[in-house]
């Protein structure tokens, strides 16, 4: 039995942040019913498209069922409302006010279902001067400060290579609704949860906001370096780059020993993590003079022997082929609704030693509409 088995989630979401939250809940065993318009989630059209079905859509919509309700028609809106009233959790990521127009907002549904946990995911939150504005991952990365600290020191602002604002908001949403579900089942009183992409990005920026609050200065772009510690970055060696995180005096000394430069521990500029952070450009130049004598694999082996945290700089094809990833079985075969065989990265957690894999492939648009309409006839709404 998975942790959320028996929990029903109704998802009124498109694209990424909301659907990712739904995917996390579905992986944990919840019955996630994705409500789509006749046109379907926009993400169904996003590349890579394999014989008419989006691999990207498949990656965040496994283990769900899909129904098509046209909310602009009375029959579709009525069915959507009846379905929402059978849910333990409702997820939505329309702009603020849209769900209220349909009578599918928390205030309306909670009158008949007080134990409902309802989560709205948006760019900026449900209230405030920016609430009505839309946002995409890149624009939120720009506004949140992430692009001010991403990239090389003298380079152009860069976004994080993955859509971190979308995924962070999805994680916050999934965590919040499971916490509220515990309360709802204990007290009979649900919650209205407001998750914003901007707030989620600020919520995980502890290192940067601490620098601002503690040092009185805005963090800046440092490439792969750490603003207050060194050596803690990607370093050049003979055949490319490797990552080194020797952030304590003991680890720094061990790294210096690996490259036969124990004298560097006596350099006053590099005496403490803070001083090394302040002089990390000079430290990098000195260390790379030694690192360039070695291939990455040789350095990694030597550092690992002395317990110094380090890693290769992988591409995605390389990391997915790593023995640890294979051991954990995080990549699983999947068959798309059109019969095309593909692969997907499953939820990385294990529960009681059990992998949270694909129990049900990503759905074709409206594949479960008739099934769920039949269930609505047979099951009453929750009170």
Q: Which of 88, 105, 137, 166 is catalytic?
A: 166
Which token pair is 89? 């959790």
H or E element at residue 138: helix 137-144
Closest CA to 18 of 81, 98, 74: 98
166 annotated active-site: yes
Q: CA–CA separation, 219 vs 156, rounded Å?
A: 15
Closest CA to 302 of 252, 233, 294: 294
Provide the 8-state DSSP code for 364: P
By the 8 A CB rule, do 21 and 121 touch?
Answer: yes
Provide the 8-state DSSP code for 42: G
Q: Which positions ≥6 away from 279 have C-beta within 8 Å?
A: 230, 269, 270
Q: How far is CA 51 from the centre of its chain?
A: 27
Q: CA–CA separation, 348 vs 327, rounded Å?
A: 12
Go through 360-376 and write b for each residue having 16 or more CB atoms within 10 A of its CB, e for each that does not.
ebbbebbbbbeebeebe
Residue owning tokens 């529960």: 351
Go through 52-67 and write b for each residue having 16 or more CB atoms within 10 A of its CB, e for each that does not.
ebbbbbbbbbbbbbbb
End-to-end alpha carbon distance in the chain: 25
Which token pair is 207? 């290192």
Task: Give catalytic residues, as residue numbers.
Answer: 166
């Amino acid at each position: 039995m998975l942790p959320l088995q028996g929990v029903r989630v109704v998802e009124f979401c498109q694209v990424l942040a909301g659907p990712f939250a739904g995917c996390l809940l579905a992986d944990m065993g919840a019955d996630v019913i994705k409500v789509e318009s006749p046109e379907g989630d926009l993400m169904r059209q996003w590349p890579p498209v394999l014989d008419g079905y989006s691999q990207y859509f498949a990656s965040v919509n496994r283990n769900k069922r899909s129904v098509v309700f046209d909310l602009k028609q009375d029959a579709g809106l009525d069915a959507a409302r009846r379905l929402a009233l059978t849910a333990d959790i409702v997820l939505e990521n329309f702009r603020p006010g849209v769900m209220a127009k349909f009578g599918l907002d928390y205030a309306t549904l909670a009158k008949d279902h007080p134990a409902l946990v309802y989560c709205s995911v948006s760019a900026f939150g449900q209230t405030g001067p920016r609430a009505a504005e839309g946002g995409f991952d890149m624009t939120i990365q720009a506004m949140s400060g992430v692009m001010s600290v991403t990239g090389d020191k003298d380079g152009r602002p860069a976004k994080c290579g993955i859509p971190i604002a979308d995924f962070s908001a999805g994680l916050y949403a999934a965590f919040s609704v499971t916490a509220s579900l515990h309360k709802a089942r204990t007290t009979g009183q649900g919650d209205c949860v407001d998750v914003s992409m901007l707030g989620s990005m600020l919520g995980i920026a502890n290192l940067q906001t601490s620098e601002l609050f503690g040092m009185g200065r805005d963090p800046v772009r440092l490439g792969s370096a750490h603003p207050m510690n060194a050596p803690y970055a990607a370093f050049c060696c003979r055949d490319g780059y490797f990552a080194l995180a020797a952030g304590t005096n003991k680890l720094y000394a061990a790294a210096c020993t690996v490259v036969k430069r124990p004298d560097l521990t006596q350099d006053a500029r590099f005496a403490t993590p803070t001083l090394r952070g302040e002089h990390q450009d000079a430290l990098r130049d000195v260390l790379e003079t030694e690192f360039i004598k070695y291939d990455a694999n040789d350095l990694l082996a030597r550092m690992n022997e002395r317990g110094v945290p380090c890693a290769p700089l992988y591409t995605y094809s390389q990391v997915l082929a790593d023995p640890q990833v294979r051991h954990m079985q995080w990549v699983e075969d999947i068959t798309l609704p059109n019969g095309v065989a593909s692969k997907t990265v499953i939820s990385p957690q294990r529960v009681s030693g059990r992998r949270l894999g694909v129990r049900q492939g990503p759905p074709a648009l409206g594949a479960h509409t008739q099934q769920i309409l039949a269930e609505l006839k047979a099951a009453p709404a929750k009170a």
